[in-house]
Structure 1
Amino acid sequence: MKLPKPRKRGGTYTITISHQNKRYYCTRDTAAECEHWAALKLLELKTQEKIEAGELKPKYTFRDLNDKYFQDVGQWNKSKSSLAWIKGQYKNFEIRFGSLAQKSIYDIKPKDLTIWRNNRLNQVGENTVLKEISHYSAMFTFAQKELFLLDENPWMQITKPKKPKARARRIHPSEIEIMLNALNYEIGMVPVLPQHYVAWGFLFALETAMRRGEILGMEKKDIYDEYVHLPKTKNGDSRNVPLSVEALELLKLIQHDGRRIIPQSENAFRLMWEKRKAEVGLNNLHFHDTRHEAITRMVRIRKLPVEVLAKITGHKKIEVLVNTYYNPDAKDLVEAFKSIEKNKPA
């Protein structure tokens, strides 16, 4: 199509083009700038016309999809912990994917994602990679079913890493002592310094089987005579956690005037924990191992039946509780067996 000639008006130039019975115009300093604008505008209009007719796909990079998904879906996640994780994925997207972030989503193939998966497995564990694959796969499903940009999801065509065997790690009393020493804390001490609150949270987790996020989210108004009420937990439900004598004694040590029991951010708490455990060589100790240890103790010492235990821990699936978090050793099983035999009616 032949471009119209720019018209001079005073000290500037103007040009007008028509497309599909609509007129578009602009004003520039020179005739050449007007012609350049007109050529680009016509190309843009024709491209959009082909896109709307289904003859051409719109330009859409992986990075564009990441932005769109976060704006429309990700940032509206109601779970505080999930939202924090999603924000982390969004913020570190370029670092995660490098040049693949700039690639068109139409050109991303299962081979590209398999290479990414293998590289990522050299950086983090299988569980992390599985979680990330699920997130980015949801992103491409969104492009497929909501934006109608894709015919299929390439993430569904790659082999996922095998889910690693659940941790069955118990915490030895000597490890508790080592961590308390590393955090400069003694049992019965009123916590004052940041490391003291980390130690206090460690001990409280061992008594209650509460998650780190749940402990850090506890407020004084949620503490009752014999239990703590958790208004919102990982699975979205509220629950009540009974408090042992030891847990109640720990709560008496909290003497600050703040709203939350532990006046510390989750990130600061985590970094302190990781730093101190690394200093004493307990790299294989995870804070979440306290949940395994506490649940096993509740069965071994308090003889709690599994249905009661599930209400305390917040597990909706009994098999997850039994197979993942209850970690008895051979001695525990023998003692439980003998206890049942002893109480059988003659």
Structure 2
Amino acid sequence: MKLPKARKRGESYRIELMFNGKRISATRDTEKECEEWAMIKLLELKTQSNEDPRIKPHYPFSALLLKYYESIGKHKKSKRTIHISINQFIRNFPNIAEMSVHDITPQVLTDWRNVRLKQVSVGTVLRDISLFSSIFSYAQKELFLIDINPFALVVKPSQPKSRNRRISNAEIDLILQAHDYKHGQVPTDPQHFVAWAFLFAIETTMRQGEILSIKRSNIFDDYIHLPETKNGDSRDVPLLDSAKDLLKLIAPTKSERLIDIESSTFQNMFGNRIRKLGIDDIHFHDTRHEGITRLVKLRKVPIEILMKITGHKTAGILINTYYNPTASEISKMLNESN
């Protein structure tokens, strides 16, 4: 059955379906959202009207992906990442996207995994597997479309080694120059704010998303309050004098947000300039590793205090992932403590 076209009604779009003599309609913000709703709704109606339970209707994986996003994904904090991953899969793997969920086997997904490993990093593949496995679990346990999650028999690639990339002062200077920014400068352009955030991240160990979420009402004399962080909890981040000096450079504006830049714009701006510098092995998140290492190496912050600053719930992840002192550095610290 060919899907009808959505029609514009004022600032929104409306689409109508006819099924078994009944008219069903919906209104959405965009034409694409209308078409996605119609495809999912039509599949649901066909499934419900199937009289022989032995006959499994064709339910494209793409429809399941879109239904998951509408029902669950768009309500998560990571909704933007989920939406991008789903759209990329539908665009890059159309053959699998149009397969019925009943026909997708562990072999199909293993072949997809192997192709994906040649295109992107192991970490990205692991994140994709986690997302799509959750979607199949949703189809199994919530929609009762399938009996078994096919990802249960797919071997995950080995977890990559933790990054321990330090950022040198020379590299910091290069990154600031690439954003036309200098130490102590009042940021005015978007690229200045990106450079400022880079410095602020090193001084506070805060994540990029946490910095972009800061509201002026969250800032206190000695700390910044983060109402919600990656692990779902709130956290108070203490401020070194160097971090306070950086905050003083931000001029008052009408916006409640400290940095009024969208995450995608921020990421693109930083990534493009890093690539032009030829040091694209640096990620913005490496500032967290650098900041944590400096707190331990220069300020001798003990691990239990460090956990409160960074928001880690277990010492193991913090030590193994973010702070990786060499044997020589450990020797120096031990001798300095005598």
Same fold per superposition (TM over 0.5): yes
Alpha-carbon offset, residue 95 of structure 1: 1.3
Q: How many angstroms apart in 2 are the aligned matches of 1:46 and 1:73?
A: 22
Aligned pairs for 1:60-75 within 5 A: 60-75=59-74
Gaps in structure 1 of 5+ consecutive residues: 1-23, 27-43
Aligned pair partner of 2:259 in 262, 286, 302: 262
Aligned pair partner of 2:247 in 244, 251, 259: 251
Q: How many angstroms apart in 2 are the aligned matches of 1:323 and 1:211?
A: 18
Aligned pairs for 1:24-63 within 5 A: 48-50=50-52, 54-63=53-62
Tell me: CA distance 1:25–1:280, structure 2 relative to 1, closer, same or farther (3 Å): closer
SS of alignment partner, residue 320 of structure 1: helix
Correspondence for 2:131: 135
Alpha-carbon offset, residue 64 of structure 1: 2.0
Aligned pair partner of 1:195 in 185, 191, 196: 191
* Deviation readout 1:135-186 (Å, 9 max, x if unpaired): 1111111111222221211111111111100001111111111111111111
Q: How many angstroms apart in 2 are the aligned matches of 1:333 and 1:25?
A: 77
* Deviation readout 1:35-91 (Å, 9 max, x if unpaired): xxxxxxxxx8997221xxx332233121121122222222222x2xx1111122233
Alpha-carbon offset, residue 304 of structure 1: 1.1
The number of residues matched between the two structures is 295
SS of alignment partner, residue 237 of structure 2: strand
8 Å contact from structure 1 (residues 183, 195) kept in 2: yes
SS of alignment partner, residue 290 of structure 2: helix
Aligned pairs for 1:273-312 within 5 A: 273-312=270-309
Correspondence for 1:332: 329
Q: How many angstroms apart in 1 are the aligned matches of 2:75 and 2:269?
A: 30
Q: How many angstroms apart in 1 are the aligned matches of 2:48 and 2:233?
A: 52
SS of alignment partner, residue 50 of structure 2: helix
SS of alignment partner, residue 282 of structure 1: coil
Gaps in structure 2 of 5+ consecutive residues: 1-19, 23-45
Aligned pair partner of 2:163 in 144, 160, 167: 167
SS of alignment partner, residue 115 of structure 1: helix
Q: How many angstroms apart in 1 are the aligned matches of 2:222 and 2:212?
A: 19
| Structure with the greater alpha carbon radius of gyration | 1
Tell me: CA distance 1:94–1:205, structure 2 relative to 1, closer, same or farther (3 Å): same
Correspondence for 1:231: 227
SS of alignment partner, residue 92 of structure 1: helix
AA matched with 2:240 = S
Q: How many angstroms apart in 1 are the aligned matches of 2:167 and 2:86?
A: 35
Tell me: CA distance 1:306–1:46, structure 2 relative to 1, closer, same or farther (3 Å): closer
8 Å contact from structure 1 (residues 170, 289) kept in 2: yes
Q: How many angstroms apart in 2 are the aligned matches of 1:168 and 1:45?
A: 51
AA matched with 2:61 = F
8 Å contact from structure 1 (residues 169, 327) kept in 2: no
The sequence identity of aligned pairs, in percent, is 46
Q: How many angstroms apart in 1 are the aligned matches of 2:66 and 2:116?
A: 21
Tell me: CA distance 1:25–1:302, structure 2 relative to 1, closer, same or farther (3 Å): closer
AA matched with 1:68 = K
8 Å contact from structure 1 (residues 185, 196) kept in 2: yes
8 Å contact from structure 1 (residues 182, 280) kept in 2: yes
8 Å contact from structure 1 (residues 220, 261) kept in 2: yes
Q: TM-score, normalised by structure 2?
A: 0.83
8 Å contact from structure 2 (residues 224, 238) kept in 1: yes
Correspondence for 2:7: none
Q: How many angstroms apart in 2 are the aligned matches of 1:303 and 1:217?
A: 29
Q: How many angstroms apart in 1 are the aligned matches of 2:311 and 2:48?
A: 57
Q: How many angstroms apart in 1 are the aligned matches of 2:321 and 2:21?
A: 67
Alpha-carbon offset, residue 25 of structure 1: 7.5
